[in-house]
Amino acid sequence: NKSGRKSTEMADPVYPGDVLHKSAPLIEWSYEQQLGMKSTHIKTAVRAFTKQVAQKCKDLNQPEPSWTSHAWSKASGAPLGCACPLDDIIGTPADSLEGYRNKCEFSIGWDANGEVECGFVQRITDDGFGRLVASCEEVPLVPQVMKRLCQAVRDCARTSKFAIFKRGKGWKSGFWRLVMARFSGSELLVMVQTATATGEEKEQLCAEIRAALTQESLQLNVVSIYLQFNDEVSDAARPTAPLELIYGQSQLRMKLLGLAFDIGPLSFYQANSITCELLYGRALEWLQPKEEVAVLDVCCGVGTIGLCASQKCRKVIGIELVPEAVESAKANAALNEIHNTEWTVGKAEDVLPKLLEEMDPSLQVSAVVDPPRPGLHHVVLRALRSCSQLSRIVYVSCNPDSLVEDVVKLTMPSENDEDPFVPVRAVAVDMFPHTLHCEMILLLERMSQVKDPRKTEAPAAAPADEATNDT
């Protein structure tokens, strides 16, 4: 760690090289133990930003904020060294610990015996190009319907006239590459990625895919099939890679907190639908959307959090970099007959400052931010901090390391800002049981609105007759 700071990342456990332990490295631990590990992971993140703010103030020879003190921590009921209390971890319900992923990607290649397989990459071959693929049959994260889908794709590829994609230094050949699936709970959207095929060859490839995935005996209930062409060495296709609907409807309908969301093959959507409802429920509880409040949804994706908040607030303003996601957000608002939303395409750092400057001064503003792993751009952080109407931020994080850095920037005392944010409450959310990943929600409020827990009055003494009443 070049910064010299302790990372909040959990250490990788030592596990065998099989697909089960690569996909679910915590599978040998009980779920109670997993939740304990992840709670500690998030507690470490809270301690990290508490300590870093205090240390930075010392280095700058300025007073440390009162919320970084042990007295504040003790009075607020927070763990030692933490600026704010931590709620009990939100875990995935016991009946959803297996098959919980609504989106999976599977590689098409050869297994250790040289047989065609559709599953997860077990390892890269010594030359750095080949992929050894193993079945996902024993992996608990994958829904049963997707395991049947893998069998269908595998059987199709084994008998296909089209070869498996191979690559080496300076050469490529073949077609079949990977398959991505999304599951609504009852229906599947599937995207098959191959090398480019044209003309009659393309028609034959599409016919093979449609026939394999729509067999009634498999009970896959595939309602949508896309074909994506990718001729790069990497399976990660470029954003401009050709994508074509070759069967069924263009989108898959997902249900979330009483709303419906139509998503496509490339849309961002939380991969665990059940626990996502619990995460959003807590985020909205802390956001406190009200009639006089405008909610900023920064990094809004297809609008899930904002649309869920829209039913209780004056309006929602969503900002998102990906144009297709914004179009989906608009369509999802219309689908749910929600009319108090605005959606803006662009980098948050380019769009947000002007948007906040033009905000109706009569409105209170709350923000929910759900950034990608690198966290928020420094311009976004500055804009959020400098908007005096903004009183509350709910930060949803998939990467506690970047959250720590962002919180330090939002909360550090400054001569130019007499009312910085203060961390008020945190909670860990386990969206991905059996893996090392853990989400986190953090509530921040303006210092002027946060009650000093050290000054909380002691409860009044009970009346004498009540105190001596033993009945």
pLDDT at position 321 is 86
Residue whose pair of structure tokens reads 């508490």 in the numeric block: 50
Higher pLDDT, 239 or 396: 396
Q: What is the pLDDT of residue 463?
A: 47
How far is it, in rounded angstroms, from Cα 287 to Cα 27? Answer: 34
pLDDT confidence band for 74 (50 / 70 / 90): very high
Q: Which amino acid is at 234?
A: S
Q: What is the mean pLDDT of the segment spanning 104-128?
A: 91
Place 134 in a pLDDT band, splitting at 50, 70 and 90: very high
The percent of residues in the chain predicted with pLDDT above 70, rounded, is: 93
Residues 149 and 371: their CA atoms lie apart, in Å, by 32
What pLDDT score was predicted for residue 3? 37
Helices (H), 220-377: 273-287, 304-309, 323-335, 348-357
Q: Which of 5-19, 248-262, 317-331 has the highest mean pLDDT?
A: 248-262
**Predicted pLDDT at 6:** 42
Confidence of residue 357 (pLDDT cuts 50, 70, 90): confident
Per-residue model confidence as pLDDT tens digits over 166-204: 998 889 999 999 999 999 999 999 999 999 999 999 999
pLDDT, one tens digit per residue, over 3-58 is 334 445 554 554 456 899 999 999 999 999 999 999 999 999 999 999 999 999 99
Question: What is the C-alpha to C-alpha distance for residues 84 and 66, in angstroms, rounded to an integer?
Answer: 12
**What is the tens place of the pLDDT at every residue in 140-160?**
999 999 999 999 999 999 999
Res. 361 pLDDT band, cuts 50 70 90: confident
Residue 84 is among the residues annotated as catalytic for this protein:
no
More confident residue, 7 or 451: 451
> By the 8 A CB rule, do 199 and 163 touch?
no
Residue in 299, 308, 398, 438 annotated catalytic: 398
Total count of residues recorded for the chain: 471
Please, which residues have CB within 8 angstroms of residue 134's CB and are 6 or more apart in sequence? 18, 19, 111, 112, 117, 119, 120, 122
Assess whether pLDDT exceeds 50 at residue 443: yes
Has residue 460 got a pLDDT over 80?
A: no
The number of beta carbons lying within 10 Å of the beta carbon of residue 120 is 23
pLDDT band of residue 223 (cuts 50, 70, 90) is: very high
pLDDT for 79 beyond 60: yes
CA torsion through residues 10, 14, 18, 24, sign: negative
Q: Which helix (H) or strand (E) holds 19?
A: helix 19-23
Indicate the average pLDDT of the chain: 91
Report the run of H or E that residue 282 belongs to, with start and end. helix 273-287
